[in-house]
Amino acid sequence: MTEAHAVPAVEAAALAPAGRGLWSDAWRRLRRNRAAIAASVVLALIAVAAIVGPEVAPHAIDAIYWDRVDAPPDFANGHYFGTESNGRDLFARTLFGGRVSLALGIAATLVSLVIGVGWGAIAGFIGGRVDAIMMRTVDILYALPFMFFVILLMVYFGREPLLIFVALGAVSWLDMARIVRGQALSLKRREFIEAARAAGTGTGAIILRHIVPNCLGPVIVFATLTVPQVILLESFLSFLGLGVREPMTSWGVLIADGARRVETAWWQLVFPSAFLAATLFCLNFIGDGLRDALDPKDR
């Protein structure tokens, strides 16, 4: 009996490509996706510009030039994107706004990952009445007006960046919880889970060591699609006047200010919008590439 089971295992090991696991195979397929690789390069350049740019820009983000209010782009004076209505350099403020928007998007996504993955994994693995109660809670939160809930949290807790990403992350975990729950339901009856139970492994250890790691593929894909959603949501809140406060800024704040002056100062809308649109396109291309690379049907 032992030999009969050992032979196929040896043959399978011999036939399997050396070092070819799920992640190495996914990386190989991702490298063949030119759109995803190009988007990754562009996004990395935008991130580096947002991190380093404000420090090396010709003008500080809060420096005011009263003689250059609403001035168009001027390379001679170092105002590459022109100035805004208060005479501040738009180039430096656009790069700094990218730093804030990207940080808010990533931080809020991490908050939603922690809550959503934990909630969905526990509900799906334990099942029964616990699953019913937890998922009915998710359904109730789904029924609440999403934007109203975010605005209510921000009005109550304030508009500080830390509270903004907590508010955004606190309402963006619902989809993640459902995705992870579905993965947990399909994994809980697998052989390696039954083996862990037979070995005396506790419920918490099984969730942390087996359920969550095996859900990382869909979680990573969904996270790359959540970041642009959070950035867009923050931009919309900033457009309503509920975003970050001065002297800080974000792409949403700059776009909101530029939209009010588009007829007389088009550059105030075009440049921040171009950075935001490029970032959203890159994140969506990367998300599509990861989805195709991690799809088990393509293995």
Domains and CATH numbers, the chain: 44-69+76-298 (1.10.3720.10)
The answer to whether residues 272 and 94 touch, using CB atoms and an 8 Å cutoff, is yes
The answer to whether residues 294 and 220 touch, using CB atoms and an 8 Å cutoff, is yes
| Mean pLDDT for all residues in the chain | 81
Which has the closest alpha carbon to 196: 216, 9, 188, 22?
Answer: 188
Residue whose token pair is 């699609």: 225
**Residue 244: DSSP 8-state:** P
Residue whose token pair is 């099984």: 206
Q: Which of 3-12, 95-104, 277-286 has the lowest mean pLDDT?
A: 3-12
pLDDT (tens digit per residue) in 65-119: 888 888 889 888 888 998 988 889 999 999 998 998 888 888 888 888 889 899 9
Exposed e or buried b per residue across 148-173, where buried means at least 16 C-beta atoms within 10 angstroms of its C-beta: eebeebbeeeebebeebbbbbbbbbb
Joined together, the tokens standing for residue 225 give 């699609």
pLDDT (tens digit per residue) in 232-261: 787 777 777 777 777 778 888 888 888 888
Q: Where are the beta strands (DSSP E) in 131-275?
A: none
Supply the pLDDT for residue 105. Answer: 84
Supply the pLDDT for residue 251. Answer: 86
Q: How many angstroms separate the Cα of 241 from the Cα of each of 101, 105, 164?
A: 15, 18, 13
**Residue 79: DSSP 8-state:** B
Choice between 297 and 137, residue whose per-residue pLDDT is larger: 137
The answer to whether residues 30 and 287 touch, using CB atoms and an 8 Å cutoff, is no
Separation between Cα atoms, residue 124 and residue 181, nearest integer Å: 4
pLDDT (tens digit per residue) in 109-138: 888 888 989 999 999 888 889 989 999 998
Highest mean pLDDT among 24-33, 37-46, 159-168, 196-205: 37-46
Mean pLDDT of 132-148: 84
